[in-house]
Structure 1
Amino acid sequence: MTARPANAHQARLLRLLRDGGPSSRVELGDLVELSRSKLAVEVDRLIATGLVVADGLAASRGGRRSHNIRLSPELRFLCVDIGATSVDVAVTNPELDVLGHLNQPIDVREGPVAVFEHVLGMAGKLKATGIAESFDGAGVGIPGPVRFPEGIPVAPPIMPGWDSFPVREALSQDLGCPVMVDNDVNLMALGEHHAGVARRVDDFLCVKIGTGIGCGIVVNGEVYRGASGSAGDIGHIQVDPDGHPCPCGNRGCLEAHFSGAALARDALAAVRAGHTGDLADRLAGTGTLTATDVAAAATAGDAVAIDLIRAGGHQVGQVVAKLVSFFNPGMVVVGGGVTGLGHGLLAAMRTEVYRRSPPLATGNLPIVLAELGPLAGVTGAACLITDRVFSPA
């Protein structure tokens, strides 16, 4: 098993090297409150553990040249982002560079055993490329509420068979390494904070719109999970008391009115009611409609598709406006599969947020699309597991 840092100073040094890459002892000394002699002791101890290696001489800053150090390039982390209909699996080095990445369709309703058979098979394929012999840790995201300390899903509405399944324990046994588990939108928020559009923002909301809708809440650079791990479950905020039934058992939830599945449902209903535009042509060609079809139809100018996207954006914007009034974030990041709908969705959301929230909260508030796409979740998974591995035992 990978060694762990012995104290908070070592953990701080490891995270600085993770986030900033190779650094000299002098540069690290500028960032941590340690004397030069104490810093040297802690760095030497980290080198002895194998977590850190020497990396040649640093650039001269006058006087005696300092030595660069970096995280061991041999470290490897498995990153898993499970969605409702697909899974992304990646391997990163300790500086969170993605070395290999696979995507595969799955149905999360098959249950945890079947889904993790797919995940382990994909991990094996990545190993076979030669980028990893084993893993020093694994981060996993799932599309439902997670009791974070134990890594256990709790009553996830779209995941039958997953309630209380010991994801963290089971995968740790299969992989032979530490495993951390979190909600998928929290990992997306971590990924965008580390390497995406929110990398310079410490207080922001990350709204993920896909098969479901969730919100990652980042406060002072840390994910806020709430008392029991369910913070940010905005998909089940009611937007219409007499609205559509939701898998959670209630009616009128945001997720029941605007998500990938809801968008496809409403598009299909429009065609069956007599709409004859691009959506009808797509249904005739394939026999089904998806959120991707709605996006493509909107791009082609289909009026119903455009109206569906605009209406959904207004509904999401109404909920986000309340969050902005309450939380006062520095940015709102919008990601997930449905963001293929693009700027029409974003424009509708912005209209609602800027109209409904106080000017003081929205005067300098960017509402932007996520940057990392399918790599956001796996990058966040790498952040999650390295946070654990690079923490004192």
Structure 2
Amino acid sequence: MHDISPIRAKSGTNQEGTSAHNRRVMIEALRLNGQLSRADLARATQLTKQAVSNIIEDLERDGLVVALNTVRKGRGQPFTPYRLVPEGAFAVGLQIDRHLGRVVVVDLIGKVMARAEANLPFDEPSAGVEIILDLVARARHELAGISAQSERRLVGLGVAMPGPFGLNNSDDKWMMPAWQQFPLLEALAAGTGLDVGLQNDAAACATAERIVGAAHGIDHAVCLYVGYGIGAGLILNGELYTGGNGNAGEIGLALLSPAGPGSTPLEHRASLASLYQHLGLNPADAQLYERLDTLALADDPKVAAWVEAAAHDLRWSVHLIETMLDPQTVILTSGAPASLARRLLQAMHPLLPSIADRPGRRLPRLQLGITDPWAIAVGAAAEPIGRAFDPRFSAILKAG
């Protein structure tokens, strides 16, 4: 017999008309666990052995799954493990920020295959889109040199940019109003020939954490993203929650004092934009990341003063997240260098008492996540992969 330890997977359904959902369930099980036999897959997904065999054969034929060498252990029956084929699918991820565009191409398991970046003209989306299309073309050309089937296996383009989306106060410069009003998705779809999806940058960061970071295998986690602005990516019941209008988790807009004259949103005081202003730095500076790293490592007093003030406000935001959503853990993610993010995390302790402060915790209430500046683009690329391959429980409800 081979290993019968628990396997991370969602349940499939043996109802008729749900084959697409079952394919997604099996792909996710292989992504989470690396390699599994048909018996493993049947046990974990609660599908019949025949259903698993049929789906495995389909996935092999589609170039998404490959059989590995047969394993023989003791007196038990030999078994054949299967794994995903990384080059079975690719997706493009795009991060648009106030002054910067980043593009990555990832494979089916989230590995970055190509990347490109360039400065964007502030609040000039027409010119900015042309730059972005060139970045996408460069990344696709680089990928084509690695995989001859790359164009045929591109499943889409995911875009991440600061939200919230579709509000009336579109003149607020924190929300990139010119980009909000520009027909961005239509322009990108026409220019790339790909299906295009949009999410806010905090949601993309949470997706990256779910695939390759601290939220991997966790059903309930909130990623508190400290970038130019502040947002929260919500992973609830194992899926990214975006809300009715795609604006869930916009905690940066939460007021730190009662509404009315003098009220201040969180992101105006504790975001990296507030740090740039505090230090007199230009957010369009190509060396900004390196400058912040140097200042944080040198224990710069102005940086220390900002960290102390920002930590006070962010400590309150963790309390609010825990009280409202009861996650297993809160993950601090940031576009800042790891040196600065670690200082901010340390300064946020001790955390305020909340319902999360209980004995026997398996995970810390607050932990540091990804600080790679490319994480948002990677999370954006994961969106079309998820759209194509991740389980959606709504599929079962509709089929039922």
Please tell me whether the aligned partners of residues 10 and 42 of structure 1 are also in contact (alpha carbons under 8 angstroms): yes
Which residue matches 1:315?
313
Which residue matches 1:114?
127
> Are 1:256 and 2:268 an aligned pair?
yes
Please tell me whether the aligned partners of residues 259 and 338 of structure 1 are also in contact (alpha carbons under 8 angstroms): no
Please tell me whether the aligned partners of residues 22 and 69 of structure 1 are also in contact (alpha carbons under 8 angstroms): yes
1:171 offset after TM fit, Å?
2.4
Please tell me whether the aligned partners of residues 160 and 380 of structure 2 are also in contact (alpha carbons under 8 angstroms): yes
Output the CA distance in 1 between the equivalents of 2:343 and 2:65.
Answer: 49
What SS class does the counterpart of residue 131 from structure 1 fall into?
A: coil
Which residue matches 2:11?
none
What SS class does the counterpart of residue 304 from structure 1 fall into?
A: helix
Please provide the CA RMSD for this pair: 3.4
Match for 1:103 among 117, 126, 143? 117
Which residue matches 2:389?
390
1:10 offset after TM fit, Å?
1.6
Aligned residues: 359
Distance 1:27 1:75, change over 3 A: same
2:141 counterpart letter in structure 1? A
Please tell me whether the aligned partners of residues 356 and 365 of structure 2 are also in contact (alpha carbons under 8 angstroms): no
User: Identity percentage over the alignment?
Assistant: 26
What SS class does the counterpart of residue 137 from structure 1 fall into?
A: strand
Q: How does 1:82-161 map to 2 (within 5 A)?
A: 82-107=96-121, 109-111=123-125, 113-129=126-142, 130-131=145-146, 133-134=150-151, 135-146=154-165, 155=170, 157-161=174-178
Which residue matches 1:235?
252
1:372 offset after TM fit, Å?
5.6
1:326 offset after TM fit, Å?
2.2
Please tell me whether the aligned partners of residues 336 and 373 of structure 2 are also in contact (alpha carbons under 8 angstroms): no
After superposition, give the CA deviation of every residue in 1:312-351 in whole Å (9 maximum; x if it has no partner): 1111212222222222222111122235523331122233
Output the CA distance in 2 between the equivalents of 1:139 and 1:161.
Answer: 20
What SS class does the counterpart of residue 231 from structure 1 fall into?
A: coil
Please tell me whether the aligned partners of residues 99 and 120 of structure 2 are also in contact (alpha carbons under 8 angstroms): yes
What SS class does the counterpart of residue 92 from structure 2 fall into?
A: strand
> Are 1:183 and 2:180 an aligned pair?
no
Please tell me whether the aligned partners of residues 229 and 252 of structure 2 are also in contact (alpha carbons under 8 angstroms): yes
What SS class does the counterpart of residue 367 from structure 2 fall into?
A: strand
Which residue matches 1:70?
84
Match for 2:45 among 32, 44, 63? 32
Please tell me whether the aligned partners of residues 96 and 379 of structure 1 are also in contact (alpha carbons under 8 angstroms): yes
Q: How does 1:1-393 map to 2 (within 5 A)?
A: 6-48=19-61, 50-61=62-73, 62-66=76-80, 68=82, 70-71=84-85, 73-107=87-121, 109-111=123-125, 113-129=126-142, 130-131=145-146, 133-134=150-151, 135-146=154-165, 155=170, 157-240=174-257, 251-268=263-280, 293=291, 296-338=294-336, 340=338, 341-351=340-350, 354-358=351-355, 360=357, 364=361, 365-371=364-370, 373-390=372-389
1:236 offset after TM fit, Å?
1.3
1:355 counterpart letter in structure 2? L
1:142 counterpart letter in structure 2? M
Output the CA distance in 1 between the equivalents of 2:34 and 2:135.
Answer: 28
Distance 1:69 1:259, change over 3 A: closer
1:207 offset after TM fit, Å?
1.1
Distance 1:186 1:42, change over 3 A: same
1:73 offset after TM fit, Å?
2.5
After superposition, give the CA deviation of every residue in 1:187-224 in whole Å (9 maximum; x if it has no partner): 10011111112213221211111211111111112122
1:66 counterpart letter in structure 2? T
1:80 offset after TM fit, Å?
1.5
What SS class does the counterpart of residue 205 from structure 1 fall into?
A: strand
Scaled by the length of structure 2, the TM-score of the pair is 0.78
Distance 1:108 1:12, change over 3 A: farther
What SS class does the counterpart of residue 15 from structure 1 fall into?
A: helix
Which residue matches 2:12?
none
Scaled by the length of structure 1, the TM-score of the pair is 0.79
Output the CA distance in 2 between the equivalents of 1:153 and 1:377.
Answer: 26
Output the CA distance in 2 between the equivalents of 1:80 and 1:359.
Answer: 35
Output the CA distance in 2 between the equivalents of 1:76 and 1:382.
Answer: 9
Output the CA distance in 2 between the equivalents of 1:361 and 1:118.
Answer: 50
Tell me which moved more, 163-172 or 115-124: 163-172
1:77 offset after TM fit, Å?
1.3
What SS class does the counterpart of residue 123 from structure 2 fall into?
A: helix
After superposition, give the CA deviation of every residue in 1:53-94 in whole Å (9 maximum; x if it has no partner): 543433235335436353472422112222223222111121
